Amino acid sequence: KAGVTQTPRYLIKTRGQQVTLSCSPISGHRSVSWYQQTPGQGLQFLFEYFSETQRNKGNFPGRFSGRQFSNSRSEMNVSTLELGDSALYLCASSHQASGANVLTFGAGSRLTVL
Partner 1 sequence: AQRVTQPEKLLSVFKGAPVELKCNYSYSGSPELFWYVQYSRQRLQLLLRHISRESIKGFTADLNKGETSFHLKKPFAQEEDSAMYYCALRGGSARQLTFGSGTQLTVLP
Name the segment binding partner 1 (CB under 8 A); options: 9-17, 20-28, 60-68, 106-114: 106-114
What's the rounded Cα separation, in Å, for the pair 74 and 68?
Answer: 4
Candidate residues 20, 45, 65, 86; the one interacting with partner 1 per rule CB under 8 A? 45
Candidate residues 1, 2, 42, 70; the one interacting with partner 1 per rule CB under 8 A? 42
What's the rounded Cα separation, in Å, for the pair 9 and 21?
Answer: 9
Number of residues that bind partner 1 (CB under 8 A): 21
Give the number of residues written for the chain: 114
Q: Is residue 37 a contact partner of residue 108, using CB atoms and an 8 Å limit?
A: yes
Binding site for partner 1 (CB under 8 A): 3, 33, 35, 42-45, 48, 55-56, 58, 90, 100-108
